[in-house]
Amino acid sequence: MTSKANILVVDDEPQIAEMISSALQLYGYAVQTAMDGEQGVARVGAGKFDLAIMDIQMPGMDGITALGEMKKLDPEIEVIIATGHGTMGTAIESLRKGAFDYLHKPFEIKELLKVVERALEKRKFNDITRAIFSTVRPEEQLRVIIDSVTRILKAEESLLVLPGRDGNPYIAVSEGLEDPGAAASRLEMCSRIMDAPEETSKSAVLSENPAGDRRFAGIAGLDKLKSSLFLPLREDNKPVGLIAISRLEDEAYFTEDDLQRARIFASLVGLALRNSSLYRQLQETQGQLIQAEKMSALGQLAGGLAHEINNPLSGILGLTQLVMENTDKAGQNYADLKDIEKAVFRCKKIIVSLLSFSRQEKAHLEPVSLNEVVEETLTLCARQMELQRIKINRQLAPGLPMVNADFQQLMQVFLNLFTNARDAMPEGGELTVSTSLDGAGGRPAVAAAVSDTGGGISPEIAGRLFDPFFTTKAVGKGTGLGLSVCLGIINRHNGGIRAANRPGGGAAFTINLPAL
Amino acid sequence: MNRKALIVDDEELVRNYVRRALAGRGWAVTEAANGAEALRLAVPGAFDAMVCDLKMPDLRGEEVIKRARQACPAMKIVAITGSVSDIKAPLAPGVQADGFLIKPFGIDEIRDLLEKLTRI
């Protein structure tokens, strides 16, 4: 039989140590004893204990000193101080040093057991806290949260519901809900709770006999539920999700104690979620910094490189053309020279686009209508798109605020995005350009999305899309600088650019620019 | 009468093809490999046009152009460079080149530009 917990009893009076340990063993705990402070500390150093019950007045190392030593060896250990000559002073000192609680000798066994249980419960919470905070990876974290809540509240089924992108809540993780019908009915219960603002502002909502609860009227399949507990999750004081846990028919109702634990748990989860969202923000910022660093390093390199390369390139071009003048236009030599000439122009194009984004030139900013930029760029590309059987779908929101921008540079951005979309749809397809007001970031912004019906972005390349010289196009078809140029321009406009796959297939690029 | 041009560039490859491109159109071309040599050669009446690189080891091209302009006000001056960051240099007050080409440029570009500038 596995014992409930490992407890160390430290007392210089053998009869008392014996009495305490027999009582605890009777209740299923595994107990070891030590005769003084030194021995107790040595035991903690050698083995794993959940809890120590320790006398204060002992020969040699006293209880308070031993407590400090034990906490140094194992910061997780809980210590209950027992004292016969206790004054309020020693008790407070022991608590200050990290004791969980203290007991006055002589104490009743019942009293001892109660304190032991409370100490162990706190330890369990510590374990859970550590587990929840141990990971910032969202999927893992949600799994840990659901596992922990199921365990500490001895529930049979549990689920964590988050609002989806489409606004409809979905089950992020669940436990004991393999049956799709049951899962659907629990999700519906959660939706009702989330829709009722007065419910989500509470720290916990209890429903005894959910099948008869008016809040869940009309939901089928709740008969087996004895008692359900809903814990709204809040981040920055805004509701971000809901945990629902239930006990089934032959289990006990949730008690007031359970409710109290659930509340503590929910607040821990809120903190953990906040933690990981901060971590995500940090990672994003870090990513942007790395990208900016890459661009500026490349910019410096490009400036120097362009000069070094353009000199010999100019020689190749000039000499090639001189030889061409003296070559029979019908021969193979002339054709070969023509290819060399073309290759030089290709190099020139690469260098020019490299410089155009690495140059830290200031944009010429003026109030610009994003819709107008889109329309003008589309006019430029319309013929090309038509030739490749690409249908252009405009969804431009009317009456958008202006943005402070360089018209030419923004045209360059859209031109690059349209070209990429076109190249992603060699067999034809649909190019959708939409603009909208975007208030998601707090400040009003104007957003534009360019999406195609091509092959989309594979996960392997998602992280490298904006890297200079990264291209998926055939050799000679792309310089790998198009999206780097876009990123550079959008950054200079204090905006953002994101790439994603569309649910129905194809890629979507979204640009945000601060509104005027 | 042959028109006379001075090509100033530390890059031999560039001097070579510019000279031959212009020679093919009846120009008499003299080469200078650095700014000091160019300024020694550029005396009034010696050249109808000067083609001058902006980045050379001794003197900055802008400086060479400025001084040559003072010495020979009638000479047409074309600045050439491989670096786009120099793009505004030939337009600076006191420099004001008559023409500007970014490397790599082809033989017809330099021929057409010089012919246009020296047409009377």
Distance between A317 CA and the closest CA of chain B, angstroms: 6
Instruction: With beta carbons less than 8 A apart as the criterion, state whether A10 and A55 touch.
Output: yes
Taking a contact as any Cβ pair under 8 Å apart, which residues of chain B between 72 and 91 contact chain A?
Answer: 81-85
- Please write the tens of the pLDDT for every residue from B22-73: 999 999 999 999 999 999 999 999 999 999 998 888 888 889 999 999 999 9
Mutate which: B13, B87, B88, B112, vs A, most A CBs within 10 A: B13
Q: Do A359 and B84 touch (CB under 8 A)?
A: yes
- Residue B104 sits at the chain A interface (C-beta within 8 Å): yes
pLDDT number for residue A87? 61
Taking a contact as any Cβ pair under 8 Å apart, which residues of chain B between 29 and 48 contact chain A?
Answer: none
ipTM of the predicted structure?
0.89
Q: Pick the residue from chain B with its C-alpha nearest to A358.
A: B85
Would you give the DSSP letter of residue A515? B
Which chain B residues are closer than 8 Å to A340 by Cβ? Answer: none
Instruction: With beta carbons less than 8 A apart as the criterion, state whether A231 and A265 touch.
Output: yes
Which chain B residues are closer than 8 Å to A325 by Cβ? Answer: 24, 107
- Residue B24 sits at the chain A interface (C-beta within 8 Å): yes
> Whole-angstrom Cα distance, residue B31 to residue A439?
64
Instruction: With beta carbons less than 8 A apart as the criterion, state whether A244 and A215 touch.
Output: no
- Residue A313 sits at the chain B interface (C-beta within 8 Å): yes
Q: Do B18 and A318 touch (CB under 8 A)?
A: yes
Number of residues that this document lists for chain B: 120
Q: Do A310 and B103 touch (CB under 8 A)?
A: yes
- Residue A292 sits at the chain B interface (C-beta within 8 Å): no
Mutate which: A310, A317, A323, vs B, most B CBs within 10 A: A310
What six digits make up the tokens of A208? 């005894």
- Please write the tens of the pLDDT for every residue from A287-315: 767 766 666 676 667 777 777 888 999 99
pLDDT number for residue B5? 97
pLDDT number for residue B84? 65
Q: b/e for B23-44, b at 16 or more Cβ within 10 A? A: eeeebebbbbbbbebbbebbee
Q: Do B82 and A307 touch (CB under 8 A)?
A: yes
Task: Out of B81, B82, B106, name the one closest to residue A318 (CB).
Answer: B106
Beta strands in A78-224 (DSSP E): 78-83, 101-104, 157-163, 169-175, 205-208
Q: Pick the residue from chain B with its C-alpha nearest to A359.
A: B85
Q: b/e for A477-508, b at 16 or more Cβ within 10 A? A: ebbbbbbbbbbbbbebbebbbebebbeeebbb
Q: What is the 3-state secondary structure (H, E, C) of A195-257?
A: HCHHHHCCCCEEEECHHHCHHHCCCCCCCCEEEEEEEEEEECCEEEEEEEEEEECCCCCCCHH
Instruction: With beta carbons less than 8 A apart as the criterion, state whether A355 and A306 touch.
Output: yes
CB atoms within 10 A of CB A322: 18
pLDDT number for residue A145? 85
pLDDT number for residue A296? 65
AA identity, residue B83: S
The DSSP bridge partners found for residue A83 are A104
> Whole-angstrom Cα distance, residue A257 to residue A42?
36
Residue A344 burial by CB count (10 A; 0-12/13-18/19+): exposed, middle or buried? buried
Residue with structure tokens 């031109």? A415
How many structural domains are present in chain B?
A: 1
Whichever domain contains B110, its CATH number is 3.40.50.2300
Task: Out of B17, B81, B102, name the one closest to residue A319 (CB).
Answer: B17
Would you give the DSSP letter of residue A457? -
> Whole-angstrom Cα distance, residue A161 to residue A144?
14
Beta strands in A18-61 (DSSP E): 30-34, 51-55
pLDDT number for residue A2? 47
AA identity, residue A32: Q
- Residue B106 sits at the chain A interface (C-beta within 8 Å): yes
Task: Out of A303, A314, A319, name the one closest to residue B103 (CB).
Answer: A314
pLDDT tens digit at each of 516 positions of chain A: 345 789 999 998 888 888 899 989 988 899 999 999 999 999 999 888 999 999 888 888 888 899 999 989 988 899 998 877 656 677 778 888 888 888 887 788 888 888 898 888 888 777 777 777 777 777 788 888 888 888 888 888 999 998 877 778 889 889 888 888 889 999 999 999 988 877 777 778 889 889 889 899 889 888 889 999 999 887 767 778 899 999 987 778 888 878 888 888 888 887 787 777 778 777 777 776 776 666 667 666 777 777 788 899 999 999 999 999 999 999 999 999 999 999 998 888 777 766 665 555 556 789 999 999 999 888 878 878 888 899 999 999 999 999 999 888 888 899 889 989 999 999 999 999 999 998 766 678 999 999 999 999 988 888 888 887 788 877 666 777 788 888 888 988 889 999 999 888 899 999 999 998
Task: Out of B21, B85, B104, name the one closest to residue A322 (CB).
Answer: B21
In order of A3, A50, A77, A231, the CA distances from A120 in angstroms are 13, 7, 10, 24
For A357, what's the count of Cα atoms within 13 Å in the CB-facing half-sphere? 31
Show the domain range for B17.
Answer: 3-118
H-run or E-run covering A9: strand A6-10
φ, ψ of residue A51 in degrees (nearest 5): -155, 145
Q: Pick the residue from chain B with its C-alpha nearest to A312.
A: B13
CB atoms within 10 A of CB A81: 25
